[in-house]
Structure 1
Amino acid sequence: MKLNFVTTNEGKYREVRGIAEEYGIEVSWLNYRYDEFQGESLEEVALKSAKYLANRIEPMFVIEDSGLFVEALKGFPGVYSSYVFKTIGNEGILKLMEGVENRKAKFVAVVVFYDGSEFHIFKGEVEGRIAEEIRGTHGFGFDPIFEYQGKTFAEMGEEKNKVSHRRKAFQSFFEWLTKNF
């Protein structure tokens, strides 16, 4: 089976391509830029994006939206993660967390698959904490400040791809896809 993954983020594409190969699915990168929608939840944002794309590209595509949710910041940056990363970055989140004891956080990923007639939604999450400093050189986005079992995602390298929120969402999707298509 062949499937288009719509993203402008090459790092996400490489991660998803690796997961897809485990299921015998070929994923092509469709580097298609579109305005990011806003909403109350990642599911709402991803579904709005998929519906927009359904009128512009061929069916049998998948998109993914993800966010960092920090408990002490009442879920911020959440659905605004991409914008927050572009504006204040990892340094800004660490600044907001100065002196905060509760550093619990989670990464959440939502995958939407459009088969030409229906939209299917899958979700994955991983719990961790916000590190006290930027650590590691691998990964992208908030990976250098998201700590999972003592290491930041940026310190984990390929090991991250075995436990990430994105992996969990795409595993659910690929398991479903292999049974239904």
Structure 2
Amino acid sequence: MDKRKTVFFATSNIGKVEEAERTLKEYGILLLHLPMKLIEIQSDNLEEIAVFSAQKAWENQGKPLFVEDAGLFIKELNGFPGPYSSYVFKTISNEGILKLMSDKGNREAYFQSVIAFCNGKSTTTFKGEVRGEISKEIRGGHGFGFDPIFIPEEGDGRTFGEMDISEKTAISHRTKALKKFAEWIKSLDYSKFI
């Protein structure tokens, strides 16, 4: 029997699962994927969205699990697309964001990730953020979503889309949130918590 702590990740996004597996494995935590479409509320607050989704996923699955929600916040666009990033990507994609940014001088942006863990008794959140800027063109074929147009400050001038998964996970917003979550999980007497 595997003695590692196990966590369930409710998501339909395989890219997120791959990032989470890599990070949690470093902490000796086994990730089990619960493929499901999450119910999300309309809110301009990522934490509210993640908490609601985690609680609804727990109601559906009946087991301790976590969800992750992320958004791209662009300064010149007053934080848009923010918590609506997934919808905006599906509707106007990277090309649409670049068009909105075509006449903007300030290209500052940040990605934020919020993890919400729900065990049916309580919900705990963890945040991660990475600052950077929007590129002037789509660059790279790795990752997903807005990765090909986001250049992280902590990087070397490449977009997330130009980095392989190990390079991206070394500095990503999701990894930062996952590391906080993993440290917390490791500190628990998990058998009493679940």
TM-score, scaled relative to structure 2: 0.91
Aligned mate of 1:141, from 142, 145, 153: 145
1:106 aligns with 2:110: yes
CA shift, 1:10, in A, is 0.5
Name the % identity.
Answer: 49
* Alpha-carbon distance between aligned partners in 2 of 1:52 and 1:169, rounded to the nearest angstrom: 21
Uncovered stretches (5+) of structure 1, i.e. residues with no partner: none
Letter in 1 for 2:172: S
Selected match of 2:25 from 21, 26, 46: 21
User: 1-side partners of 2:105 and 2:151: how far apart?
Assistant: 15
Match of 1:82 among 81, 86, 96: 86
**Corresponding position of 1:36:** 40
- For residues 54-87 of structure 1, the C-alpha deviation after alignment (integer angstroms, 9 at most, x for no partner) is 2111221010000000000000000100000000
CA distance in 2: counterparts of 1:35 and 1:44, whole angstroms: 12
Give the partner amino acid of 2:95: E
Counterpart of 1:8 (choices 12, 35, 43) is: 12
CA distance in 2, matches of 1:106, 1:161: 16
Alignment partner, residue 161 of structure 1: 169
CA distance in 2, matches of 1:102, 1:146: 14
Aligned-pair CA distance for 1:134: 0.1
- For residues 122-151 of structure 1, what are the alpha-carbon distances to aligned partners after superposition, in whole Å with 9 as ceiling and x for unaligned? 000000000000000100000000012311
Question: What is the distance in 2 between the residues matched to 1:4 and 1:75?
Answer: 31
Distance 2:107 2:45 in 1: 22
Pairs aligned (count): 181
- Residues 40-51 of structure 1: matches in 2 within 5 Å? 40-51=44-55
- Structure 1: 4+ residue segments shifted above 6 A: none
Q: Give, in whole Å, the separation in 2 of the partners of 1:169 and 1:104.
A: 21
CA RMSD of aligned residues (A): 0.9
Write the distance in 2 (CA, Å) between the matches of 1:88 and 1:142.
Answer: 11
Change (3 A) 1:95 1:139: same
- CA distance in 1 between partners of 2:134 and 2:170 (Å): 20
Deviating more after overlay: 80-89 vs 148-157: 148-157
Which residue number in structure 2 is paired with residue 124 of structure 1? 128
Segments of structure 2 that go 5 or more residues without pairing to the other structure are none
**Secondary structure of 1:19 counterpart:** helix
Query: What SS class does the counterpart of residue 184 from structure 2 fall into?
Result: helix
